[in-house]
Amino acid sequence: MEMPPPDPSQLMQLWLEFATKMSAAGSTVSPESPPSDAAKQMRGIFLQALGQATEQYMRSPQYLASVKQSMDSSVAFRQQLNDFMAQIRHATGGLARPDIDCLLMAVRRCETRTLDKLDELANQLNNLENRLNALEGSNAELAIAAK
């Protein structure tokens, strides 16, 4: 069963109660002394409420929409920057990254086609070798039978 996130006013009330109880008990907080059970409990409640509020906020449609908009803007900016840099390189007579990427893709296609043809030729050569071995074997049998 999931608890609803506490109201901020409830958190403030709990914090005030904690502070008054601690001061009434004469407790002093120092870095050397370990926290009391009440302090540990209060810290746990506070961190749980903070975690729930953060998770609720991060799952909200408004937050998700803003993150999506931010990511879309970043991608669009990056694309504009890449296009601008390519235009600068082309204007100065240089090569841009899209040009090199296109060239690499063409080389990869040629490589793939060459390897496919080599595989095809290797298969044809194996077939010819098998047929030749079969012919030599039948010729040897005929020679033995003729004797």
Quote the pTM value: 0.44
In a domain, 65, yes or no: yes
Domain range spanning residue 51? Answer: 8-25+36-85
**For position 1, what pLDDT does the model report?**
42
Distance CA 10, CA 42 (A): 12
pLDDT tens digits along 92-130: 888 888 888 899 999 999 999 999 999 999 999 999 999
40, 63: one domain: yes
**For position 64, what pLDDT does the model report?**
94
User: What is the full DSSP assignment across 72-96?
Assistant: HHHHHHHHHHHHHHHHHHHHTT---
Neighbours of 38 (CB within 10 A): 14
72, 21: one domain: yes
**For position 117, what pLDDT does the model report?**
97
In a domain, 30, yes or no: no
pLDDT tops 80 at residue 69: yes
15, 63: one domain: yes
Q: How confident is the model at residue 25 (pLDDT cuts 50, 70, 90)?
A: low
In a domain, 53, yes or no: yes
Which of 30-34, 87-91, 116-120 holds the top average pLDDT?
116-120
Give the number of domains in the chain.
2
Q: Which of 85, 109, 125 is the last residue of a domain?
A: 85
Q: Which of 65, 85, 105 is the last residue of a domain?
A: 85
